[in-house]
Amino acid sequence: MGRCLKRATNGRIRKANTVIKTRQDLSHVQRAIVKIGSSLLTDTETGIRMSMVEHIAAQVHAMQQMGVQVSIVSSGAVAIGCVHLGWLGKTLSVHEKQAAAAVGQSWLMQSYGKAFAKYNTQVAQMLLTKDDLRHRRRYLNASNTSETLFSAGVIPIVNENDTVVVEEIKFGDNDNLGALVALMVNADLLVMMTDVDGLYDANPNQYQDAKRCSMVDDLNDDVMAMAGDSDSEFGTGGMLSKLTAAKIATRGGVVAAIVNGQQRHVLIDLFSAKDVGTLFLCGEDRHSRHQHWIADVLHVAGQLHVDAGAAQAIVHKGASLLPIGMIDVQGDFDKGECVEVVADSMVIARGLCNYNSKDLRRVQGLSSKDMAKTLGYKDFTSVIHRDNLVLKVRGKS
Ligand code: GLU
């Protein structure tokens, strides 16, 4: 187990991410994010399902006793708020959803507070938006606050700050939030607790011989396809969003697991190397922090459509994007913003643009040497330099 000392946090030495290659290695996890879905926590009569909160608190406490630092990413605010407001089944406006989240979030925190008090453990509420992670100072503040809470033995309970988010600054789903938080705090493991037993090779509701995948060491397109489309899930777990989150986590060096939260002691079983859920190992295909930032965090401000030659050079030859390969520019964006590179209607990469959209429209299709003539300046030869480009398809990174 190759581990080295990484940094000191309030007197406690935290080691570099644990290398996990087998289920047995999970016993070496030092820091874990446990994401809990709304369906587990919501009771249509009482709002919060207190028995589940207690069940989670007991297991998280046991993990802490084993020396694991845990943060919970908890969904449920909107659904629980709806129960208390008598809004179940109602089609909600954005403001109604935000109001429901405000009501439900307070129930969530009261319930976690009560459940963890049994173990003399403090909990802390952390509400985040995607915008918080895009801004360096806010990102560092969130990360430092988490460190301080971990060091003090407090359980950070994270949710999206639903009352203020609009579409552009939304995480989209809490699986995504869980993966981004796991990377932010350098966790070793992201556990997504849901109401299905893990990833199946076919829909278990339709096929009796469907098998649970115990371990996935390469989260490729074939595995992604096992999720089906998000509307026809195997159960209600949102498998596609879980696999997408598992991909973000594992590419960033964090092992991921999908487990059934209804199964008694499932977290403890997972840590004791029992064959529960699906475990996703980290492959060779890793993102640096800079690549993760571009691929998973930044807001996409526009699209650059490229021809087949440029697509081939970007995907297979590790090339930068040059103006000659561009056939269309969509959106209005500034130099330095994040854009998608599209070939044949498919997003093949994301990157940071060296020029604004107005200038790019003027130079699309030109060779790099003609750029200065057209623009009156040429700061860069490439439109997106390879160092600032991340592939969204398999190829040469
Ligand atoms: N933040 C939402 C809530 O607490 C949940 C979003 C999700 O689970 O994807 O209700």
What was the pLDDT predicted at 9?
37
Res 59 pLDDT > 60:
yes
Res 169 pLDDT > 80:
no
Could you tell me where the beta strands, DSSP code E, fall in 182-319? 189-194, 215-216, 255-260, 278-280, 300-306
Closest ligand 1 atom to 38 CA? 8
What was the pLDDT predicted at 16?
60
Closest ligand 1 atom to 108 CA? 4
| Å from CA of 396 to ligand 1 middle | 36
What was the pLDDT predicted at 227?
84
Backbone angles phi, psi at 147, to 5 degrees: -55, -45
Closest ligand 1 atom to 172 CA? 9
Counting ligand 1 atoms within 8 A of each CB, the residue from 159, 161, 180 with the most, and so the one to mutate, is 159
| Å from CA of 100 to ligand 1 middle | 11
Q: How far apart are CA 26 and CA 187, in angstroms?
A: 12
CB atoms within 10 A of CB 393: 13
Q: Where are the domains of the chain?
A: 4-291, 299-391
- pLDDT tens across 352-379, in order? 999 999 999 999 999 988 999 999 998 8
Q: How far apart are CA 87 and CA 81, in angstroms?
A: 8
What was the pLDDT predicted at 272?
94
**Burial of 257: CB neighbours in 10 Å, binned 0-12, 13-18, 19+:** buried
Res 307 pLDDT > 90:
yes
Could you tell me where the beta strands, DSSP code E, fall in the chain? 5-9, 12-15, 31-36, 42-43, 47-48, 69-74, 123-128, 155-160, 189-194, 215-216, 255-260, 278-280, 300-306, 326-330, 338-343, 346-352, 389-391
Counting ligand 1 atoms within 8 A of each CB, the residue from 160, 166, 236 with the most, and so the one to mutate, is 160
Is 299-391 in the same CATH topology as 4-291?
Answer: no
Global confidence as pTM: 0.90
What CATH superfamily is the domain 4-291?
Acetylglutamate kinase-like (3.40.1160.10)
Whether 199 contacts 219, CB under 8 Å: no
Instruction: Please indicate whether residue 159, judged by its CB atom, sits closer than 6 Å to ligand 1.
Output: yes
Instruction: Please indicate whether residue 160, judged by its CB atom, sits closer than 6 Å to ligand 1.
Output: yes
What was the pLDDT predicted at 7?
38
Spell 172-191 as b/e; 16+ CB within 10 A means b: ebbbbbbbbbbbbbbbbbbb
Whether 160 contacts 128, CB under 8 Å: yes
CB atoms within 10 A of CB 254: 27
Closest ligand 1 atom to 75 CA? 4
Rounded to the nearest integer, the mean pLDDT of the chain is 91
Nearest alpha-carbon partner for 290 in 389, 385, 384: 389
Instruction: Please indicate whether residue 115, judged by its CB atom, sits closer than 6 Å to ligand 1.
Output: no
Nearest alpha-carbon partner for 276 in 214, 226, 216, 217: 214
Counting ligand 1 atoms within 8 A of each CB, the residue from 173, 176, 195, 239 with the most, and so the one to mutate, is 173
Instruction: Please indicate whether residue 296, judged by its CB atom, sits closer than 6 Å to ligand 1.
Output: no
Ligand 1 atom 9: residue of nearest CA: 173
Query: Per mean pLDDT, which range of 5-9, 53-57, 171-175, 370-374 is the poorest?
Result: 5-9
Q: How far apart are CA 173 and CA 186, in angstroms?
A: 20
Res 12 pLDDT > 90:
no
Percent of the chain with pLDDT over 90: 79
Whether 270 contacts 257, CB under 8 Å: yes
Instruction: Please indicate whether residue 76, judged by its CB atom, sits closer than 6 Å to ligand 1.
Output: yes
| Å from CA of 347 to ligand 1 middle | 27
pLDDT band at 236 (very low <50, low <70, confident <90, very high): very low
Cα separations (Å) of 356 from 101, 298, 335, 359, 375? 38, 17, 4, 6, 11
Radius of gyration of the chain (CA): 22
CATH, domain 299-391, list 1.20.272.10, 3.40.50.720, 2.60.120.200, 2.30.130.10: 2.30.130.10
- For 62, residues 6+ apart whose C-beta sits below 8 A from its C-beta are 267, 268
- pLDDT tens across 247-266, in order? 999 999 999 999 999 999 99
Instruction: Please indicate whether residue 77, judged by its CB atom, sits closer than 6 Å to ligand 1.
Output: yes
Res 5 pLDDT > 60:
no
- pLDDT tens across 211-235, in order? 999 999 999 988 998 887 544 333 3
Nearest alpha-carbon partner for 126 in 110, 144, 142, 148: 142
